[in-house]
Chains A and B, each alone.
Chain A
Amino acid sequence: MPNLSFTAPTTVDEAIRALASAPGLAKPLAGGTDLLVQMRSGRMRPEVIVDIKRIPDLIGIRETDDSFVIGAATPGVMLSEHEAFSRAWPGIVEGVDLIGSQQIQGRASLVGNLCNASPAADSVPALITAHAVAVIAGPDGRREAPVEAIVTGPGQTSLKKGEFVVEFRVPKPKPRQSDAYLRFIPRTEMDIAVVGCGINVTLDAAGLCTDARVVLGAVAPTQLIVDDAAQALIGHRLDDDTLSRLDAAAQRACKPINDKRGTIEYRTKVAGVLARRAAAIAFERAAGRVAGVH
């Protein structure tokens, strides 16, 4: 990297200028836990690195009436230590907690986990199920996009030159709404998802599911929103029949690769199992909110 330059602007506009004016590849730097590894391996050769952590509000979580706003460079530890957010969206926090070690958690950001565009990114499925929105700043001003519109393929995003995600806006849960995220790895810690599954449900007072979103990770080039799986839940209690239909819908949606972590058959089967288990947790949490347990 003979021509690398580093800048640490203090405003979003300066950051956009630095990203947009670079002749070659320019990368925003938040936690760096993917970027620095990719630079060392030679997979990524940026000419300009723009450290966005000096920009006010890009680190931290703030609450509005209807949303949580998470700054782009907020490290994982800050999110899992945020009591109101952890209470609101335990599934998103479960995903964040699964990313790397404590050392990685001290730096890695939720936005970085998305924009690295790995199909196995642990924080992304539950974020999508919560209808999180990415706020993007760029040379043409600000725009918003649902989180699921950012990743277009492994390592690929829909962000244009000079654009970067400045924050996520995550709507607060409605009454009797909650979520869960599970992933399968062959060990207990420090590995990449073989399959991940985020489920978000809303129940009515009688315990029937009125709204649901099911998202699978690591079984396709991008995270998959499985509408059929959500439809299997909506209008139902979580009985054996519902679980069977959820399981089947999750398996049908899978388009996984064969690799050392799991065969196509194995990943497909596990997707159904995780969907069942995540649904059970999400339903229990949502029902618990009826009694004000959360």
Chain B
Amino acid sequence: MAKQHVSTIINGEPVEFLCEPQQTLLDVLRDELNLTGSKEGCSSGDCGACTVIADGNIVCSCLMLGAEAEGRKITTIEGIAEGDKLHPVQQKFLEHAALQCGFCTPGFIVAAKALLDQNLNPTEEETRYWLAGNLCRCTGYDKIIRAVLDAAAVMRGEQAGAAR
């Protein structure tokens, strides 16, 4: 079967790759492009460990074909920090110890960043609903929610060291 040639933008960089028609975007990221930050959990869109941003929407990269990425703009966990400077969500995950095993963390951070990109002042309830598609079996979620709400406060300029 002919491989698909795909030109796309990943984390701001033009990227070209070849993929099989049935390869998911997650397969391509991990196996072809060596971007292994996105994790494969359930492969059925339930766990959110493979969350990426595609043209502004968070999606499960396990439920998108690599071929569909043609001409799209994709942001993965590898594109969330700016160089050595962590995104406030990443910084607050560290400060609040919002991770234990860490497997779900990239998905949570990408999803939380996308929430704060469109709403800098989410309520706890909005945050919990937004992150309902990300499963964590370690933390019990509370520290994650605190970290995201705290990151929002930083991004609103309500805490020192907020500049980004």
Q: State which residues 105-126 of B face A: CB under 8 Å.
A: 111
In the complex, A101 has a CB within 8 A of chain B: yes
Flag if A33 contacts B68 (CB, 8 Å).
Answer: no
Q: Which of A103-111, A218-226, A235-243, A246-254 contacts B (4 or more CB under 8 A)?
A: A103-111
CA distance A100 to B42 in the complex (A): 15
In the complex, B132 has a CB within 8 A of chain A: yes
In the complex, B34 has a CB within 8 A of chain A: no
Provide the residues of chain A in CB contact with B68, threshold 8 Å: 8, 29, 32, 51, 53
Shortest beta-carbon distance, A37 to chain B, in Å? Answer: 5
Flag if B132 contacts A37 (CB, 8 Å).
Answer: no
Interface residues of B (CB under 8 A from A): 1-2, 4, 20-22, 24, 43-46, 48, 51, 54, 57-60, 62-65, 67-68, 70, 111, 129-134
The B contact surface, by secondary structure, is mixed
Provide the residues of chain A in CB contact with B59, threshold 8 Å: 103, 106-107
Flag if A189 contacts B132 (CB, 8 Å).
Answer: yes
Flag if B63 contacts A32 (CB, 8 Å).
Answer: yes
In the complex, A84 has a CB within 8 A of chain B: no
In the complex, A40 has a CB within 8 A of chain B: yes
Provide the residues of chain B in CB contact with A51, threshold 8 Å: 65, 67-68
Mark each residue of chain A from 27 to 58: 1 if its CB lies under 8 Å from any CB of chain B, else 0: 00101110011011100000001010100000
Q: Which of B21, B67, B133 contacts A103 (CB 8 A)?
A: B133
Rank and list the top 5 A-B pairs by shortest CB-CB distance, nearest first.
A101-B133, A106-B57, A6-B21, A189-B132, A106-B59
In the complex, A208 has a CB within 8 A of chain B: no
Given A102-B133, A106-B59, decide whether A6 and B44 contact each other with a Cβ distance below 8 A: no
Given A5-B1, A6-B4, A190-B132, decide whether A36 and B65 contact each other with a Cβ distance below 8 A: yes
Shortest beta-carbon distance, B145 to chain A, in Å? Answer: 14
Q: State which residues 1-33 of A face B: CB under 8 Å.
A: 1-6, 8, 29, 31-33
Most chain B beta-carbon contacts within 10 A, residue among A33, A36, A103, A190 = A103
CA distance A103 to B53 in the complex (A): 9
Provide the residues of chain B in CB contact with A104, threshold 8 Å: 45, 60, 63, 133
**26 CB < 8 A contacts A-B:** A3-B1, A5-B21, A6-B67, A8-B67, A31-B63, A32-B65, A33-B45, A36-B24, A36-B62, A36-B65, A41-B44, A49-B65, A51-B65, A53-B68, A101-B132, A101-B134, A102-B111, A102-B131, A103-B51, A103-B58, A103-B60, A104-B45, A105-B57, A106-B54, A107-B60, A189-B132
